[in-house]
Structures are given as C-alpha cells and as structure tokens.
C-alpha cells in the first residue's frame, strides 16, 4: 500500500465534498468534527428521522475514517485504506448531509436562541440553527529540546500516520515515548515491521491507570518476551541530531545514555479540544462538561466523544462522579444519546464502557471501569495464551481486562449490562466458563 493511501482513498471523481443540491443557507445542525462521534451523530439522527439539513464539518482533508487502525493495520500496511472510510460520498448525499473537509473553525458567534455562525480559518462562514461539538482531542506535545526535529512524530490522525509510514522504510531504530495503548500498539506494529524499537515510559508501569497492576505487569513481560525493549521510570532529556542537523538521530536519556533513533514517536496522551467551548462560555473541566443527555452547560449545544466530560455512565456509579472516555464505543454510544436529545427525546447515557487494544498477538478487551476496585481475580491459561483479570468492589464484579480471552470479556460485559455478578471464588478457576457461573446479584 502506498504511504499516502488514505490521501488517495477517494477516487478523483468522488473526492469532491458531497454537496447535495438545495443546501440551505443555514444548516439545521452544524456538527464540528467529522470523525467517530460526529459521523455517528449524523447517522443516528437520520435513523431517528431527523429531517433538518446537517453539515458535518472537519478540519482534516480526508473523508472521515476510523482511527484505531492507524497504529495497527494501516501502519503495518495490512488493510486497504478505503476500508477505513466510514461512509461513501453517496451515502452523505442521499441523506442530505453536507460533508465539509479541510475547514478549521476558529470562532463561533451565537444568538440567544442557540443559532449562530461558525467562522473557519479560511474565512468561510457556516450559519447554523443548532450546534454539536464533536471536536475530539489532540496529541499532548512533549516540550523538550529537539522536539521540533524532523522525525519527531505523533500519532493522532491520518496525516500523522502517513508521515510515520513515509519514514519507516529508511529507519532502523525507533524510540517510542509513552507506554500507553497507542505507544504500545505502534511499537508492536513497528517491531513487526522489523524495526529495533525501544519504549520509554516515564511512570513505574505500563498503561497508566487504565488497567490494574496485574494487567500492566502481564503486558510488560509479554512485550519484553517478544523482544520489545521497554524501560520504565525512564524519560528523555532531549532529542539529538547529528552534526547540528535538523533530523533526529537519537534520544538522550536523563542519565546521559543516548539511544539511536531515526524515528521518535511520542504517545503521551491527549488533550481534549475545548477551545470553541471556552470561547462560547460553556463550562469546561477536563473536557466540555455535559449532562446525561450530552447537553453542554447552555442546555442546547451537544458535545460528545473524546472532547466531553460526562456523568459516569456505569449504572450505580457514585452520584456526581464524572468521566471523560477516549474510545470508539464511547463515541458511538454518546452520539446515540445526543441524537435522541436533538430529536426532543430524553435518553440518558447509561451503559458499560468497553475498549480494545491490539498489540502484536495480544488482543486486549476491557469491559467496565476498574476505578475503586478492592479485589482482583486472575484467570490465566498459559497453554492457550489467555489472561483475564476480573475486578471487584465489595464482592461485585465491576470490570475485566481480557487478553486473548473473548469469552471472558463477553461474559463480564453481559453480566455488567444485566446488573449480574460473577462470584469471585468460582471465577478463579480458568477452566470454568464465566457465563456458567453468572448470578443475579
């Protein structure tokens, strides 16, 4: 696959924005951010019979695509870029949705009734009756010496992935900074592509607090046994270039060690895009603060997906507990709730978050949120390469991390969704299928 495969994904004739005839001067709904949550919102609205004109606008030059493959199959070149595209131009045209690419909204003027005009950096104006912010998050920058050298890269969008792919061929050594999901996925992909990969993690364990200690330790050992050089509690002091050049050649650690690197890939988390919400005077606190119906503090703007901070959707969670999730599942479910709100129905966001991360042959699936657990049960089947950790709070299962164990994942996800339990004692036997011991709580 060519390195600019996403760029080329749309055939020339179809590369124009889908602009149905009869586009009104003021769109019924302006969705800013044309990615997972924005696309799902438009699709769900049409499924619910929302008949106003929709404008789905994003700053990227590509047709909306699925991000997860960027660190996995797309990087490795094992998927056709066309398969990452959510919907065809024909779909948008048929559903009376204007898809606008390559326009970055810098300012929004609002009227008291919630309508307004969005202004893009290119000087265009997009009048709207109602507004949805699906602006996601951006990569957190590592501000150290040499951070602007050629070859110091991030991985948030298709252009980032294309830039990385363009360099991979010539690179022998890659240093990945950040042992979170995206860093580990990319590191595994790059290792599979024959690169000598070192992962630097600032903290004492992998994947921060997204998983418990047992899972973090399992991934550490599994990756090391597959040849990844992972260094915990280690940070970069500066990036170096040979002979004062502009291209990165190495990473200098705090202790003075220099690791050769023709590519440095930084994956140290993301920052929610709240600039427009702040400009609109909406409440912002680690994301755009929304209620259970995906409505922001003005009561009319919807904000969903990675950019939104919402009440914890897990049934029975502590009153007032808020959360910002970064996952495909959340973007989809949150968008459905927003679609109900925009069509005048009130459907609370209540559900069990789930997530996946594929790293080499390690297929992690997470059901629920493990915050506040007081007990874990480990299920390990070395022979079949399966590993699961179930998390409990006061005897009730609340989450599970499952590696190459899809049946465990499904059993816990289903139990959580139905408010059931999987008693810890019985779960400890890895030979026992969890669905056979699920009980009504």
Question: Is residue 272 a contact point for ligand FAD (CB under 6 A)?
Answer: no
Q: Over the chain, what HEC string results?
A: CCCCHHHHCCCHHHCCCCCCCCCCCCEEEEEECCCHHHHHHHHHHHHCCCCCCEEEECCCCCCCECCHHHHCHHHHCCCCHHHHECCCHHHHHHCCEEEECCCCEEEEEECCCCCEEEEECCCCEEEEEEEEECCCEEECCCCCECCCCECEEECCCHHHHHHHHHHHCCCCEEEEECCCHHHHHHHHHHHHCCCEEEEECCCCCCCCCCCCHHHHHHHHHHHHHCCCEEECCCCEEEEEEHHHCCEEEEEEECCCCEEECCEEEECCCEEECCHHHHHCCCCECCCEEECCCCEECCCCCEECHHHEEEECCCCCCCCCCEECCCCHHHHHHHHHHHHHHHCCCCCCCCCCCEEEEEECCEEEEEEECCCCCCEEEEEEECCCCEEEEEEEECCEEEEEEEECCHHHHHHHHHHHHCCEECCHHHHCCCCCCHHHCCEEC
Taking CB under 6 A as the criterion, the residue among 105, 132, 290, 360 binding ligand FAD is 105
Residues 143-172 that bind ligand FAD (CB under 6 A): 155-156
306 or 408: whose CB is closer to ligand FAD? 306
32 binds ligand FAD (CB under 6 A): yes
Hunting for tokens 């997470």 — which residue is that?
366
Q: Which is nearer to ligand FAD, 182 or 377 (CB)?
A: 182
Residues from 249 through 268 that contact ligand FAD (CB under 6 A): none
Q: Min. distance of Cβ 182 from ligand FAD in angstroms?
A: 5
Contact between 41 and 338 (Cβ < 8 Å) = yes
Could you say which of 6, 45, 70, 288 contacts ligand FAD (CB under 6 A)?
A: 70
CB of 331 to ligand FAD, least distance (A): 4
Closer residue to ligand FAD in complex, CB, 228/422: 228
- Report the distance separating Cα 134 and Cα 286, nearest Å: 15
Whole-angstrom distance, CA of residue 400 vs CA of residue 365: 8
Of the residues 182, 206, 360, 415, which one makes contact with ligand FAD according to CB under 6 A: 182
Q: Which of residues 210-239 bind ligand FAD (CB under 6 A)?
A: none
Closer to ligand FAD by CB, 81 or 357: give it. Answer: 357
Q: Is 306 in the site for ligand FAD (CB under 6 A)?
A: yes
Q: Does 58 help bind ligand FAD (rule: CB under 6 A)?
A: yes
Contact 335, 314 (CB under 8 A): no
Question: Per-residue contact track with ligand FAD, 313 to 342, x per CB under 6 A?
Answer: -------------xxxx-x-----------
Of 383-412, binders to ligand FAD (CB under 6 A) are: none
* Sole window of 19-27, 128-136, 191-199, 366-374 interacting with ligand FAD (rule: CB under 6 A): 128-136
Piece of the chain touching ligand FAD by CB under 6 A; list 80-88, 350-358, 385-393, 432-440: 350-358
Rounded Cα distance, 373 and 212, in Å: 9
**Paired tokens of 239:** 């990036």
- Our CB check for ligand FAD shows the closer of 67 and 413 to be 67
CA distance 162 to 188: 17
| Contact stretch for ligand FAD (CB under 6 A) within 2-10, 15-23, 59-67, 256-264 | 59-67
Nearer to ligand FAD, 249 or 301 (CB): 301
Count of residues that bind ligand FAD according to CB under 6 A: 36
For position 180 contacting ligand FAD by CB under 6 A, the verdict is no
Taking the complex as a whole, how short is the minimal distance between the CB of residue 436 and ligand FAD, in angstroms? 28
Least distance to ligand FAD from the beta carbon of 102, Å? 9
Query: Closer to ligand FAD at the Cβ: 359 or 438?
Result: 359
> Which residues inside 355-374 make contact with ligand FAD, applying CB under 6 A?
355-357
Closest distance to ligand FAD from the beta carbon of 145 (Å): 26
Q: Does 9 bind ligand FAD (CB under 6 A)?
A: no
Instruction: Decide whether 338 or 422 has the Cβ nearer to ligand FAD.
Output: 338
Find tokens 């769109």 and name the residue.
27
Q: What is the spatial distance between Cα 306 and Cα 40, in angstroms, rounded to a whole number?
A: 13
According to the binding rule CB under 6 A, does residue 276 interact with ligand FAD? Answer: yes
Least distance to ligand FAD from the beta carbon of 91, Å? Answer: 18
Q: Which of 300, 326, 318, 270 shows the shortest CA–CA distance to 309?
A: 326
d(CA 376, CA 393): 9
Residues near ligand FAD (CB under 6 A): 32-38, 57-60, 67-68, 70-71, 104-105, 134-137, 155-156, 182, 273, 276, 305-306, 326-329, 331, 355-357
């Amino acid at each position: 696959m060519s390195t600019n495969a996403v760029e080329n994904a749309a055939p020339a004739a179809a590369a124009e924005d889908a602009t149905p005839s009869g586009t009104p001067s003021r769109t019924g709904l302006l969705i800013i951010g044309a990615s997972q949550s924005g696309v799902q919102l438009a699709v769900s609205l049409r499924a619910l019979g929302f008949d106003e004109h929709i404008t789905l606008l994003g700053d990227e030059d590509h047709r909306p695509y699925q991000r997860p493959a960027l660190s996995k199959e797309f990087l490795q070149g094992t998927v056709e870029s066309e398969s990452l595209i959510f919907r065809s131009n024909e779909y948008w045209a048929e559903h009376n949705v204007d898809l606008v690419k390559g326009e970055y909204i810098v300012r929004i003027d609002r009227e008291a009734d919630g309508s307004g005009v969005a202004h893009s950096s290119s000087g265009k104006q997009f009048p709207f009756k109602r507004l949805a912010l699906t602006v996601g998050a951006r990569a957190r920058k590592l501000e150290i010496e040499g951070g602007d050298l050629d070859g110091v890269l991030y991985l948030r969008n298709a252009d980032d992935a294309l830039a990385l792919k363009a360099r991979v061929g010539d690179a022998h050594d890659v240093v990945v900074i950040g042992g979170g999901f995206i860093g580990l996925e990319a590191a595994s992909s790059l290792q599979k592509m024959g690169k000598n990969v070192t992962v630097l993690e600032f903290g004492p364990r992998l994947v921060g607090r997204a998983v418990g200690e047992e899972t973090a330790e399992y991934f550490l050992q599994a990756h090391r046994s597959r040849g990844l050089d992972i260094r915990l509690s280690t940070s970069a002091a500066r990036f170096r270039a040979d002979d004062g050049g502009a291209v990165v050649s190495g990473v200098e650690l705090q202790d003075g060690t220099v690791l050769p690197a023709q590519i440095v890939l930084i994956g140290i988390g993301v920052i929610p895009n709240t600039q427009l919400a702040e400009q609109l005077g909406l409440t912002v606190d680690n994301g755009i603060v929304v209620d259970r119906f995906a409505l922001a503090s003005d009561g009319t703007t919807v904000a969903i997906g990675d950019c939104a901070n919402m009440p914890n959707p897990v049934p029975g969670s502590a009153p007032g507990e808020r959360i910002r999730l970064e996952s495909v599942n959340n973007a989809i479910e949150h968008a459905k709730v927003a679609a109900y709100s925009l069509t005048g129905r009130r459907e609370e966001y209540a559900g069990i978050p789930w997530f996946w991360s594929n790293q080499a042959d390690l297929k992690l699936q997470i059901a629920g949120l493990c915050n506040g657990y007081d007990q874990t049960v480990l299920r390990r089947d070395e022979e079949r390469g399966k590993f699961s950790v179930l998390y409990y709070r006061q005897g009730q299962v609340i989450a599970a991390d499952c590696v190459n164990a899809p049946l465990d994942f499904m059993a816990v996800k289903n139990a959580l969704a139905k408010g059931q339990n999987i008693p810890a004692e019985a779960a400890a036997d890895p030979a026992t299928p969890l669905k056979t011991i699920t009980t009504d709580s």
